[in-house]
Amino acid sequence: APEPSVQLGGVHDGQVTLDGLTELVIQRILIGDDVAASKYFSGKPVDDPVREQQILTSVRASAGRLGIDLDATAAFFQAQIDASKVVQRGLLADWAAHPDKAPTSGPDLNVIREKLDALTTQLLAELVRVDHLRQSGLRCDIALVVANATGAARHHLDPLHRRALRTGSAATC
Ligand SMILES: O=C(O)C(=O)C[C@]1(C(=O)O)C=C[C@@H](O)C=C1
């Protein structure tokens, strides 16, 4: 007879959702607005390949310590960087075309990067927590659709930020 209540191997994670991860992904996307404002004033390019490499090298090292896959972790953070660039390019184009909509002050990029680094630590902890779900195929896809829909609604995301959320979700499952 089957023993339906007992599952070995850590497979009973049916209650795990991607809501916590998605909340952090959205928080990172929203910080993209601050990055865009800072670059609107500094004139610095959206792309900073050196900073990107620093992030990716650092998260690979963290993944090794945390016991999660290095390539999957780097791919996840590359998607978050790409999402930030979607926001930055969208806002900078909008502000160039409509200077009246542009911000009147821009935050310090170093302060913003400290916030992004803090989010990286939180995101890594969530990646550990949802590691098994991330590898579950269709179950992960479904959890992601649910988390993104509820997250986008909760934060009243506009089309640009919804597009960024899709970009940031590219390597989640
Ligand atoms: O730190 C920056 O300059 C950003 O624009 C943020 C960010 C990121 O998402 O972490 C995005 C694009 C850059 O290529 C580097 C990093």
What's the rounded mean pLDDT across residues 146-160? Answer: 98
Indicate whether residue 51 lines ligand 1 (CB < 6 A).
Answer: yes
Assess if residue 65 is contained within a domain. Answer: yes
Q: How far apart are the first and last CA of the chain?
A: 34
Assess if residue 10 is contained within a domain. Answer: no
Say which CATH number the domain at 28 has.
1.20.59.10
Question: What string of DSSP letters covers 18-50?
Answer: SHHHHHHHHHHHHHHHHHHHHHHHH---S--HH
Assess if residue 59 is contained within a domain. Answer: yes
pLDDT digits (tens, 9 = 90+) for 17-47: 999 999 999 999 999 999 999 999 999 999 9
User: Closest Cα to atom 2, ligand 1: which residue?
Assistant: 48
Assess if residue 1 is contained within a domain. Answer: no
ipTM of this predicted complex?
A: 0.99
pLDDT digits (tens, 9 = 90+) for 67-126: 999 999 999 999 999 999 999 999 999 999 999 999 998 899 999 999 999 999 999 999
Q: Residue 114 is part of which domain span?
A: 19-168
| Domains identified in the chain, total number | 1
Assess if residue 11 is contained within a domain. Answer: no
Assess if residue 3 is contained within a domain. Answer: no
Distance 112 CA to ligand 1 centre (A): 10
Assess if residue 13 is contained within a domain. Answer: no
Atom number of ligand 1 nearest to Cα 28: 9
> What is the DSSP secondary structure assignment for residue 4, as one 8-state letter?
T
Distance of alpha carbon 158 from alpha carbon 142, whole angstroms:
22
